[in-house]
Structure 1
Amino acid sequence: MHTSPRITVEVPVLSVGSGPPDYEELGSYVDALRRPQGLHLTLLHIGVLEDFAQDIATWTRGITAAGEAARMAAAWLEGLPTLDAFSARAERLVLLGGGRVSGLEVEVPHHVQEYQVSLVKALHELLDEMLVDNVDDFILSSPALGFRYPRWTPHVAVGRPKTRDRGPWAIRPLALEFGASRIRNRQHLPALGAGQDVRTRASGPRQVEGT
């Protein structure tokens, strides 16, 4: 069992609908409805940093050591630009994680889609710098990254499905407000050395470049 936290780039959910009753209404569709204070939308999943770094060391046959991979990944994450707060909506619930989790399927603005694509592009560039060959294969194979599908589906996990049906389920349309992007468990990243460069964080969904 992992004791190290998973690292993700995400945006927090600030509000669902017009108030708490709108969110609590989802309890008629799912069990163990999650607390609204912890809801978020994941833009990029890195996973446990030590595992991600070890995946790289194994893939490169030690050409890039796990310690160096972890330091490079931490510097890269710290240098990512910030996506500003935005509004979105959801009109249905879908199954996630092989059917074990119910989530709101979120219709995000186009610039949010572009920002997420830029994160994946930047991840490619980072892996190139780490001397990872066949980057697409690595991304789909890395247990730490956990990529199951090549296409990103914006969603907010809210609880366990009540039935064994596969869905999706139409719900009353909900307005969603999201905060600015952040690195989940950022405090657990390795401290950067004095010689490592971190770019100035910028607002907006700009194209991200690897370090």
Structure 2
Amino acid sequence: MQTLPRITVEVPVLGVGSGPSDYEELGSYVNALRRPQGLHMTLLHLGVLEDFSQDVADWTKGITSAGAAARRTVSWLKALPVSEGFSGTADRLIVLGGGSISGLEVDVPQHVHDHQVSLVQGLHELLDELLVDNVDDFILSSRALGYRYPRWVPHVAVGRPKTLHRGSWQIQPLTVEFGESRIRNGRLLPAADGG
């Protein structure tokens, strides 16, 4: 049972298309269309802080303790720069998560790609500080991080596919408005004290 909050860096969706009906039309492609108020695009997934910290402790064979990893990670998260809001466009629905999620594939401005790359570089630097060797191997094997794909595909998860079809569907082009970046569940992070 997953009760601990997952930590991600994300941008909230402020609007899809020109009004609510544009978003509701996606219901003809997907089951269980998500509420528009909770839509977001993940820039970096860290997972449950306790799991991530334990992964670091296990990988370093205790050289970096789970507690030290958690404290340093919280400090790093709270110091991340906030990116400004932006607009993107979507004209395709894609299937993600092994076929369990439908998402709007979003064409985003270059500076958003650059910001996402800087977050991944920052994660590499954090892991170096935590004395993790073979950082790329760690990122791909960490249960908390859960990375399966070599490149980031900007998307907004909107529901479940109606079929097990793994391809994509063309849709009427939609403008997607995003707010500034934030730490999902950031209010639940422990206080960052040195160490």
Task: Normalising by structure 2, report the TM-score.
Answer: 0.98
Matched, 1:188 2:188: yes
Cα contact 2:11–2:42 (8 A) shared by 1:
yes
Deviations along 1:56-98, one digit per CA (max 9) or x if unpaired, are: 0000000000000000000000000000000000000000100
Query: Residue in 1 aligned with 2:98?
Result: 98
Query: Residue in 2 aligned with 1:201?
Result: none
Query: Residue in 1 aligned with 2:138?
Result: 138
Superposition deviation, residue 192 in structure 1:
1.7
Query: Residue in 2 aligned with 1:11?
Result: 11
CA distance in 2, matches of 1:45, 1:189: 15
Aligned pairs for 1:113-128 (under 5 A) are 113-128=113-128
CA distance in 1, matches of 2:120, 2:132: 15
Aligned residues, how many?
195
CA distance in 2, matches of 1:93, 1:3: 30
Superposition deviation, residue 20 in structure 1:
0.1
Counterpart amino acid of 1:127?
L
CA distance in 2, matches of 1:27, 1:4: 30
Matched, 1:30 2:17: no
Deviations along 1:146-196, one digit per CA (max 9) or x if unpaired, are: 110110000000001011212200000000000000000001111122x47
Matched, 1:39 2:42: no
Counterpart amino acid of 1:147?
Y
Cα contact 2:103–2:159 (8 A) shared by 1:
yes
**Uncovered stretches (5+) of structure 2, i.e. residues with no partner:** none
CA distance in 2, matches of 1:2, 1:105: 27
CA distance in 2, matches of 1:13, 1:105: 13
CA distance in 2, matches of 1:77, 1:192: 10
Structure 1 segments (4+ residues) deviating >3 Å: none
Alignment RMSD (CA, Å)? 0.8
Query: Residue in 1 aligned with 2:63?
Result: 63
Deviations along 1:119-169, one digit per CA (max 9) or x if unpaired, are: 000000000000000000000000100110110000000001011212200
Query: Residue in 2 aligned with 1:170?
Result: 170
